[in-house]
Structure 1
Amino acid sequence: MYNLSNKELWQGRVDSETDSSHFRHFQTINFRNISDSFDEEQHGVGMIGYAVDKGVELNKGRVGAKEGPDAIKKAFANLPVMRDTQIYDYGNVEHDYERLEETQKEFGHYVAQSIQRHNQTFLLGGGHDIAYAQYLGVREAHPDASIGVINIDAHFDTRKEEGSTSGTSFRQILEGDDNANYLVLGVQEGGNTQGLFDYAEERGVGYVYSDELLHQIAPPIKDKVERFMNDHDVIMFTICMDVIDSAFAPGVSANAVLGLFPHIVLEIAKRIIPNEKVSTISIAETNPKYDIDQRTSKLTANFFHHFIL
């Protein structure tokens, strides 16, 4: 179910009502219905919320991530405008179908529309089943392209289930599309069964352990990411907030010990996002129900803030 944005979320400190150099995002945000015609040339950023945690529930995780998109927008609203880029909030999609796959399909269609309209599309989760919905949109927008999926995550999320959950997105992509490949950065050995590592080897999934990303991104890892991007026509980029240590991101569906530092995630992302092949960026698993002082929603909002080109 698609809902227009809650405009009351977009408020914050007013430093000036006339001098744009002191504006914050809530003073410049544009509100649109995704179904409205868009006559302008492709520009700016489209923002769509995936207010869904049914996939987390089906994956036996702790629910609450459906509140993530609004919490992220609220934190994002008060951040200062640093670039002359128009941002369009298209509201949120909620789950009201019998099957999660139907919600993912609906969301994916909206993603495809945003890709056609904007230089960047930011997707706010919600459970990490947002990734399969994101993929559906990328594939709709680029029907013949080779898609490289880059995921910064503690988990492979390649579980085998009867239907969609927050832990199945990337297996669904791999097994349904011979023209898509998968690279995971930040995998924790203690967060994945041996069977998932075996599946990664079987399917040729590239991965980098979290231990390899503690303090810096080594040249071989930079080369691995660059080669992967060069080998594909389109890059679908997603981040799961549970890759970050729980000291910095306690408000997630499955909090991490020995997780990554936020600045490492930001450094990796900034090597990926400027590439013109990247048109969609999703961040999943922000769960306000378990957050402390809005640390996780603020961190997610700041990631999006830094990702604006």
Structure 2
Amino acid sequence: MYKLAQRDLWTGRIDSETDESQFRHFQTIQFRNIEDDYNEPRQGVGLLGYAVDKGVELNKGRTGAKEGPDAIKKVFANLPVTRKCNVYDYGNVEHDHQTLEETQEEFAHYVAKSIKRHKQTFLLGGGHDIAYAQYLGTREAYPDESIGVINIDAHFDTREEEYSTSGTSFRQILEEDDNADYLVLGIQQGGNTQALFDYAETKDIGYVYSEELLHQISPPIKDKVERFIHDHDVIMFTICMDVIDSAFAPGVSANGVLGLFPHVVLELSKRIIPNEKVPTISIAETNPKYDVDNRTAKLSANFFHHFIL
């Protein structure tokens, strides 16, 4: 179910009502209905929330991530505008269908619309089943291109199930699309079964362990990412906030220790996002129900703030 943006989320400190150099995002945000038609050149940034944690529930995780999109927007609203760019909040999609797949298909159609309108589209979760919906929307917008999926995550999320969950998105993509490949950065050995590593071998999934990314990104890993981007027409980029150490991001559906530091994730992302091949970026698994001092929502919002081109 599609819902228009909640305008009352967009509030914050007013440093000036006339000097744009002192504006914050709540003073410049624009609101639109994703279902309306607009005849404008491709511009600015589209923002769409996936207020869904049904996939987390089906994956036997901690629910609460459906509150993530609005929590992130509320923090982002008060951050200063440091680069002039129009941001359009299209609101959220909520789960009210009989199956999760139907909600993912609805969201995907809106993702495709935003891709066609904007230089960037940011998708805020919600469970990581947002990734399958993101893929469907990307494929709708780019029906013939090769898609490279880059996921910064502690988990492969390639479980085998008879239905869609937050743990199956990337298996669904690989099983359905021969013109798609998958690279995961931040894999934790303690977060994935041997069966998932075996599946990665079978499907030629590229991955980098979290311990290889502890303090800096080595030249071989930089080359691996750059080659992957070079080899595909379109890059679908997604971040699962549970890849970050729980000291920095406690508010996630499946928190873990020995995770990545936020600055490493930021540096990795900045090597991916500026490329013109990246039309969509999703941030998944922010779960306000388990957050501490709003840390995870703040981190997600600041990632978004840094990623705007």
Pairing of 1:127-276 with structure 2 (within 5 A)? 127-276=127-276
Q: Give 1:218's aligned amino acid.
A: S
Matched, 1:81 2:81: yes
Stretches of structure 1 lacking an aligned partner (at least 5 in a row): none
Q: Give 1:175's aligned amino acid.
A: E
Q: 1:288 matched to which residue of 2? A: 288
Q: Give 1:221's aligned amino acid.
A: I
Cα distance per residue 1:282-308 (max 9 Å; x no partner): 000000000001000000000000000
Q: 1:96 matched to which residue of 2? A: 96
Give, in whole Å, the separation in 1 of the partners of 2:256 and 2:241.
9
Q: Give 1:69's aligned amino acid.
A: P
| Deviation of the 1:39 alpha carbon | 1.9
Q: 1:10 matched to which residue of 2? A: 10
Q: Give 2:115's aligned amino acid.
A: I
Give, in whole Å, the separation in 1 of the partners of 2:228 and 2:37.
35
Give, in whole Å, the separation in 1 of the partners of 2:211 and 2:67.
31
Q: 1:36 matched to which residue of 2? A: 36
Q: Give 1:66's aligned amino acid.
A: K
Cα distance per residue 1:198-241 (max 9 Å; x no partner): 00000000000000000000000000000000000000000000
Q: 1:307 matched to which residue of 2? A: 307
Give, in whole Å, the separation in 1 of the partners of 2:266 and 2:260.
10
RMSD of aligned alpha carbons: 0.3
Stretches of structure 2 lacking an aligned partner (at least 5 in a row): none
Cα distance per residue 1:154-201 (max 9 Å; x no partner): 000000000100000000000000000000000000000000000000
Q: Give 1:149's aligned amino acid.
A: V
Q: 1:22 matched to which residue of 2? A: 22
Q: Give 1:170's aligned amino acid.
A: F
User: SS of the residue aligned with 1:61?
Assistant: coil
Cα distance per residue 1:37-91 (max 9 Å; x no partner): 2122100000000000000000000000000000000000000001110000000
TM-score by length of 2: 1.00
Cα distance per residue 1:17-44 (max 9 Å; x no partner): 0000000000000000001121221000
Cα distance per residue 1:77-123 (max 9 Å; x no partner): 00000111000000000000000000000000000000000000000
| Deviation of the 1:256 alpha carbon | 1.3
User: SS of the residue aligned with 1:144?
Assistant: coil
TM-score by length of 1: 1.00
Q: Give 1:249's aligned amino acid.
A: A
User: SS of the residue aligned with 1:184?
Assistant: strand
User: SS of the residue aligned with 2:172?
Assistant: helix
| Deviation of the 1:255 alpha carbon | 0.4
4+ aligned runs moved over 6 Å, structure 1? none
Give, in whole Å, the separation in 1 of the partners of 2:38 and 2:185.
36
Give, in whole Å, the separation in 1 of the partners of 2:225 and 2:273.
12
Q: Give 2:142's aligned amino acid.
A: H
User: SS of the residue aligned with 2:303?
Assistant: helix
Q: 1:105 matched to which residue of 2? A: 105
Give, in whole Å, the separation in 2 of the partners of 1:264 and 1:272.
13
Q: 2:61 matched to which residue of 1? A: 61
Q: Report % sequence identity.
A: 80
Give, in whole Å, the separation in 2 of the partners of 1:211 and 1:58.
29
Q: Give 2:158's aligned amino acid.
A: T
Q: Give 2:187's aligned amino acid.
A: V
Aligned length: 309
User: Once structures 1 and 2 are overlaid, which stretch shifts more, 36-45 or 171-180?
Assistant: 36-45
User: SS of the residue aligned with 1:74?
Assistant: helix
User: SS of the residue aligned with 2:254?
Assistant: coil
Q: 2:125 matched to which residue of 1? A: 125
Give, in whole Å, the separation in 2 of the partners of 1:12 and 1:203.
47
User: SS of the residue aligned with 2:271?
Assistant: helix
Q: Give 2:135's aligned amino acid.
A: Y
